[in-house]
Amino acid sequence: MKVDCRWFSTNLEAFFCESLGTEDFKLASEHLQTCLSCRKEFQALHETDPLVKQVLAYRMTKARAAAFAPRRSMGFQLGLATAAVALLAVLGIVIFNQTERPKGSANQSAAQNPDPSKAEDKGEPSLSIDRTKPDAPDPRLQPVKPPPEPAISDNAPEFQVITPEGYSKSLQDYRNRILLFGVWSADRPETSQNLQRLYQAFGTRRDLQILGISSRGQDRPAGMTFPMVFNNGSRLLETRVASYAIVDKDGRVQWSDTLVGDSNVLISKVRAKLDELGAH
């Protein structure tokens, strides 16, 4: 019989358990004496013994410590549990308050700056029942927060807009007509209202094209009927938000002014300019 490492590995368990026959046991012992790798493998199994002994000692220490640890009474345990619950409750309240803080600080500032008209009526009992929360701001009075103004680079085209249908337009497309365009913004409602008044006043002139340009991709406010386009990253002939410009048939800006202000004054100014340019 050939005694090699494979044979020894196969019979390792039997050798370990001393269940090998006398002859085989002798052969295995001899192989173990001569083969270094098998001897290492066999010794490695025994190397765990001191570790296991240490583990048992470690466990004994724990058992002993537990046996002589002071026994906690039921009252102590209940007290500890109550303290844990109370701590959790406090933590919950703190976290809740932190999440509610912005609303609370708004209320506080409102309380510090009360409405003077309310202060006058303070002494008189009010007959009307106000069912709204006193500190809740009226959502209708809140200005619409506009989206950020898109960045326009220096080498952007002078004038390029997109119609709601998706067609791109440049000044060339309005070359044969006088162009009046105003840049409105939803956060300044008077700009779109004044533009609407201009459209109502001059929209029927055949030589004139009126455009309301939205530079921030905002949709036309309700009730407005002026032709609306979106700015496509152009500089709009240096016309800013809440301003309007009148461009002649050759594509030159002839007049530029603000859209903010009294609409009648605005209309009279524009009328004078359009008549001067011959827009009928």
Q: How far is the CB of 35 from other proteins (least distance, A)?
A: 19
Nearer to other proteins, 53 or 175 (CB): 53
Contact assessment for residue 236 and residue 183, using Cβ atoms and an 8 Å cutoff: yes
Q: What is the 3-class SS of 77-112, one letter each residue?
A: HHHHHHHHHHHHHHHHHHHHHHHHHHHHHHHHHHHH
Name which of residues 201 to 240 contact other proteins (CB under 8 A).
Answer: none
Q: Which range touches other proteins (CB under 8 A), out of 23-31, 64-72, 242-250, 263-271?
A: 64-72
Stretch that binds other proteins, among 48-56, 143-151, 156-164, 210-218 (CB under 8 A): 48-56
Burial class of 101 by CB neighbour count within 10 A (0 to 12, 13 to 18, 19+): exposed
Give, for 37, the enclosing helix (H) or strand (E).
Answer: helix 36-68
Among 23, 49, 130, 154, binds other proteins (CB under 8 A): 49
CB of 22 to other proteins, least distance (A): 16
How many C-beta neighbours within 10 Å does residue 90 have? Answer: 10
Asked if 270 contacts 180 with a C-beta cutoff of 8 angstroms, the reply is yes
Binding to other proteins in span 66-85, by CB under 8 A: 66-72, 77
Q: How far apart are CA 106 and CA 132, in angstroms?
A: 17
Which DSSP letter does residue 122 get? Answer: G
Under the binding rule (CB under 8 A), the answer on residue 55 touching other proteins is yes
Which one of 5, 9, 37, 53 is in contact with other proteins (CB under 8 A)?
53
Q: How far is the CB of 137 from other proteins (least distance, A)?
A: 53
Using the rule CB under 8 A, which residue among 21, 22, 34, 44 binds other proteins? 44
Q: Are 156 and 235 in contact (CB under 8 A)?
A: yes
* Using rule CB under 8 A, residue 265 touches other proteins: no
Q: Which residues bind other proteins (CB under 8 A)?
A: 13, 16-19, 44-72, 77
